[in-house]
Amino acid sequence: MKLFSKTTLAAAVLGMAMSLAQAVEISGVKVDEAAKVGGKDLVLSGAGLRTKTIFKIYVLGIYLNKKETTTAGVLAAPGPKRAKIHVLRELTGEEFGGAFLAGINKNLDKEEKSKYVNQLLKFGELFETLPPLKPGDIVMADWVPGTGTVITINGKQIIDPLPDPGFFNAILRIWYGDKPAEVALKHALLGEPT
């Protein structure tokens, strides 16, 4: 006896595929399930909300070639990568940049800091000159093999590409490192219970 007809089975598969393609919603922000970086299709590996005390700061989505559930897996993921930030609260460039740099510095050892000193200085100078970020702004850091780390705000590139692949992982360690910006956000990005 058949439990499902071919039509019923096809409808069920199509329904599952459509639900997978839909965006995830976090704190009113729709986070896309897929992205294209450097001509390659990526999937949403993890997403979560960054808070500080009672304030919602941003929603973050991390895109890789496949979903990863460990920090080691995220950092070792080959090919293009993306960190996409949906700003929820007004921040000066200095506030955003200061938090960004502090997150990198907390998760690098002395040798790594000296290796990336030029990139860190460029970042510091860049963020001091940025206009304030407003709710709804999108900040993206893309790792594009052969090009480097490309940073954009609302689609506009704000710094020349930074060619060292290790520097992009230093950025990812803001959220995935041993001293993450927020422990609950790290758990969310890895799909772990908080």
pTM to 2 decimal places:
0.86
Q: pLDDT tens digits for 109-163?
A: 988 888 888 888 887 788 878 889 999 999 999 999 999 999 999 999 988 898 8
| Domain ranges (residues) in the chain | 21-189
Q: Which amino acid is at 163?
A: P
Q: What is the rounded CA–CA span in Å between residue 82 and residue 43? A: 10
Section 47-53 average pLDDT: 94
Between 98 and 169, the more confident residue is 169
Beta strand extents in 32-80 (DSSP E only): 34-37, 40-52, 55-64
Give me 17's structure tokens.
């595929």
Domain 21-189: which CATH number of 2.60.120.460, 3.20.20.140, 3.40.50.300, 3.50.70.10: 3.50.70.10
70 phi and psi, to 5 degrees?
Answer: -135, 155
**128, 94 Cβ separation under 8 angstroms:** yes
d(Cα 132, Cα 186) in Å, to the nearest integer?
26
Q: Which two tokens stand for residue 158?
A: 């704000």
